[in-house]
C-alpha cells in the first residue's frame, strides 16, 4: 500500500490569506498546506479520502488521472468542496462516493444540479453508497470505519489494512481503540498547540498515539498556528512526524 498526502492543512489552508506570520511567510515548501486529503493505492486500486476545494490542483500537480472510489469523512466544505471537479473522472462510469447518510444528504442539498433526473454530459456522475460504522468494501478494498468525534459532530475515520486515517478528531470513543490495534501507520489530526473545541492539539494527538501504539504516526490537518515544520518536527517522539503536501509513504 502507498499513501500520498494531497493536502495536510486545516480548513483555511496554509498560508492563510493575508497572514504575515512566520509560517505563512515561510519559504519551506513543507509549510505550504492545501486542504487535507489522502490518496491510497492498494491492490491496484486508487482510493481518495476527502475531496476538498484544492482537489483539482492536487490531482493535476500529482499527475493522477484515475480514482476507483471516494471516501468522505464528513460534510465540512474543506472535505467536500471539490466534488464537482470529479467531472472528468466520472464521464464513462459514475464515481462511487462512500459516506454516512447525513453527509450524502448534505452533498445532495449543496449540489442539487448533480442529482436531477436528466443525465447530462457536463455533470459529475456519482453513485452514492450509504455507510455507517460497519465494515464495507470500496472498489473491492475492505474498509473499517472508525467513529471520531469532531466537536459535537460524529464523523468517520477509516482503517484500510494496517493504515488508519483520522482527521478532524477531538475525541476518539473508548470502543474504537480496539479497531486500531496493530497499525503500521496512523495518520491523525493535530491542529496546533492551543486548545480548540473541535480539533485536537499536538499534545492530545501524542497521547492518543501513545495509547494506540502504531509503528509510525503522521500528523495532518495543521493550522499555521502549529508552528514552522522544522521547529515542530524537532519536538516529536522518534516514531511521530509531521506530514506535508506531496509526502508519499509505503506501508
Interface residue list for Zn ion (CB under 5 A): 11, 16, 19, 21, 24, 76, 78, 168, 224
Q: Which is nearer to Zn ion, 22 or 234 (CB)?
A: 22
Shortest separation between residue 153's beta carbon and Zn ion, angstroms: 7
Shortest separation between residue 137's beta carbon and Zn ion, angstroms: 26
Cα separation, 47 vs 189, in Å, equals 19
Candidates 183, 157, 179, 181; CA nearest to 168 is: 157
Shortest separation between residue 141's beta carbon and Zn ion, angstroms: 23
Q: Are 177 and 184 in contact (CB under 8 A)?
A: no
Cα separation, 29 vs 46, in Å, equals 26
Q: Which is nearer to Zn ion, 21 or 228 (CB)?
A: 21
Shortest separation between residue 63's beta carbon and Zn ion, angstroms: 25
Nearest-Å Rg of the Cα atoms of the chain is 17
Cis peptide before 15 (omega within 30 of 0): yes
Q: Which is nearer to Zn ion, 33 or 179 (CB)?
A: 33
Q: Which is nearer to Zn ion, 154 or 161 (CB)?
A: 154
Structure-block grid coordinates of residue 19: 497572514
Q: Which is nearer to Zn ion, 33 or 76 (CB)?
A: 76
Query: How distant is the alpha carbon of residue 17 from its chain centre?
Result: 22
SS3 17: coil
Shortest separation between residue 152's beta carbon and Zn ion, angstroms: 11
Q: Are 33 and 228 in contact (CB under 8 A)?
A: no
- Give Dmax (Cα) for the chain: 55
Shortest separation between residue 76's beta carbon and Zn ion, angstroms: 4
Cα separation, 86 vs 156, in Å, equals 21
Q: Are 189 and 221 in contact (CB under 8 A)?
A: yes
Q: Which is nearer to Zn ion, 11 or 232 (CB)?
A: 11
Q: How far is CA 206 from CA 11, 65, 214, 238, 242, in A?
A: 22, 35, 11, 12, 12
Q: Which is nearer to Zn ion, 176 or 200 (CB)?
A: 200
Shortest separation between residue 91's beta carbon and Zn ion, angstroms: 29
Amino acid at each position: 500500500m502507498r499513501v500520498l498526502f494531497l493536502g495536510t492543512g486545516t480548513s483555511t489552508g496554509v498560508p492563510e490569506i493575508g497572514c504575515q506570520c512566520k509560517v505563512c511567510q515561510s519559504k519551506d515548501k513543507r509549510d505550504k498546506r492545501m486542504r487535507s486529503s489522502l490518496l491510497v493505492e492498494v491492490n491496484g486500486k486508487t482510493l481518495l479520502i476527502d475531496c476538498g476545494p484544492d482537489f483539482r490542483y492536487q490531482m493535476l500537480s500529482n499527475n493522477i488521472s484515475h480514482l476507483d472510489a471516494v471516501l468522505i469523512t464528513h460534510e465540512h466544505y474543506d472535505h467536500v468542496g471539490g466534488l464537482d471537479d470529479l467531472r472528468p473522472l466520472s464521464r464513462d462510469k459514475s464515481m462511487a462516493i462512500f459516506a454516512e447518510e447525513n453527509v450524502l444528504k448534505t452533498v445532495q442539498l449543496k449540489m442539487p444540479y448533480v442529482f436531477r433526473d436528466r443525465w447530462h454530459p457536463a455533470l459529475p456522475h456519482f453513485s452514492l453508497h450509504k455507510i455507517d460504522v460497519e465494515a464495507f468494501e470500496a472498489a473491492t478494498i475492505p474498509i473499517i470505519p472508525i467513529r471520531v468525534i469532531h466537536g459535537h459532530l460524529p464523523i468517520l475515520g477509516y482503517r484500510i489494512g494496517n493504515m488508519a486515517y483520522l482527521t478532524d478528531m477531538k475525541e476518539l470513543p473508548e470502543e474504537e481503540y480496539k479497531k486500531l490495534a496493530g497499525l503500521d501507520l496512523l495518520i491523525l489530526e493535530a491542529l496546533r498547540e492551543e486548545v480548540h473545541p473541535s480539533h485536537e492539539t499536538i499534545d492530545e494527538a501524542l497521547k492518543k498515539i501513545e495509547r494506540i501504539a502504531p509503528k509510525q504516526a503522521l500528523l495532518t490537518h495543521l493550522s499555521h498556528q502549529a508552528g514552522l515544520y522544522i521547529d515542530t518536527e524537532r519536538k516529536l517522539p522518534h516514531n511521530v512526524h509531521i506530514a506535508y503536501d506531496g509526502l508519499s509513504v509505503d506501508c
